[in-house]
Amino acid sequence: MAEACIGGRRERRSYAMGRAIGPPEHLGETTAVGTAVRIRPSRAVFARDLSIDVVAERLRELSFMLPGCSLVLNGTRLVGDTLRDLCTTVADGPLVAPPLHVRLLVRDVLVDVAIGWRPVVSPPTITSWVSTFRTHLHGTHVSGVFAGMRRGALKTDLRALTRAHGPGHFRDRVSAGLVAVVHAGLYAPRFGDPTKDRLVNPEAQRAVSDALAMAFPAYLTQYPLVRRHLAFLLG
């Protein structure tokens, strides 16, 4: 069932198996805006009971990507945090400094990125989505993170160390201990494989790179510990 508040009207419509059941039902006038959707999984579609843990995990992901969106599961309300909070959660331990968080609309691409570094050299932890769907093999939006960091670092006193490494080598060096969560919202995402695990839109890379290139120098100025940590990784 879906309820929508738009244009001063509140309407409700029920669906079953993807098809509408009857016309929309007018529920009166309202000053509210937004849409509420309630679902009950059909046993004709799901071969077994849908795991409540799987649903809860997915809704929790959405709450981070859609801050301010109120999601309710079995009466428990999940109010969206931000990707900065998710980055801290994913780190599962101390970070050199609070994560850098950038949320910005760049040429119709919603860029939402949080990055931080563990104080010890370790494999990177990178989680990415495009338009709220997980991209397990990442893609251009994640490439944009590293391109933007490199461009930003070239504007700081790390420029000499940064120039000493090409883009690929720079990525390898700064990936050590990196914790990154990346979400790019696009109107028409394109993927490099049938499973939609790898984003290929070049505009996503440019948008993420531009956003990080603007924010990264100020972050390094604000947190000298991060600057020194990167100097160690690049040295």
pLDDT, tens digit, for every residue of 119-171?
998 999 999 999 999 999 999 999 999 999 999 999 999 999 999 999 999 99
Domain of residue 39, residue span? 2-79
Residues 100 and 198 in one domain: yes
Residue 210 carries which side chain, given as an amino acid letter? D
> How many whole angstroms separate alpha carbon 115 and alpha carbon 87?
7
Neighbour count for residue 20 (Cβ, 10 Å): 11
- pLDDT value of position 68: 75
Containing 101, the helix (H) or strand (E) segment is strand 100-106
Exposed, middle or buried, 94 (CB in 10 Å: 0-12/13-18/19+)? exposed
Residues 70 and 140 in one domain: no
- pLDDT value of position 80: 66
Residues 94 and 38 in one domain: no
Cα–Cα–Cα angle for 222, 223, 226, rounded to 5 degrees = 145
End-to-end CA distance of the chain: 58
Q: Where residue 195 sits, what CATH number does that domain have?
A: 3.30.230.10
Domain boundary among 79, 107, 124: 79
- pLDDT value of position 104: 94
What is the phi/psi pair of residue 190, to 5°?
Answer: -125, 145
What is the phi/psi pair of residue 12, to 5°?
Answer: -135, 140
- pLDDT value of position 169: 95
Residues 52 and 93 in one domain: no
Residue 75 Ramachandran class (φ > 0 left, ψ -120 to 50 alpha, else beta): left
Residues 143 and 224 in one domain: yes
Residues 22 and 58 in one domain: yes
Residues 148 and 67 in one domain: no
- List all residues 6 or more positions away from 93 whose beta carbon is below 8 Å from its beta carbon: 118
Pick from 45, 8, 44, 43: nearest CA to 28: 8
Residues 109 and 15 in one domain: no
> How many whole angstroms separate alpha carbon 137 and alpha carbon 128?
8
Domain boundary among 79, 101, 118: 79
Token pair for residue 72? 């309710």
3-class DSSP state of 222 = helix
Residues of the chain below pLDDT 70? 47-49, 80
Residues 166 and 59 in one domain: no
Token pair for residue 147? 């391109």
Domain boundary among 79, 105, 125: 79
Q: How many domains does the chain have?
A: 2
3-class DSSP state of 85 = helix
Residues 201 and 175 in one domain: yes
Q: For the chain, what is the total number of helices (H) and then of strands (E)?
A: 7, 11
Pick from 44, 222, 45, 183: nearest CA to 102: 183
Residues 88 and 135 in one domain: yes
Give the torsion sign (CA, 86, 90, 94, 100): negative
Residues 52 and 120 in one domain: no
Q: Is 0.95 topped by the overall pTM?
A: no
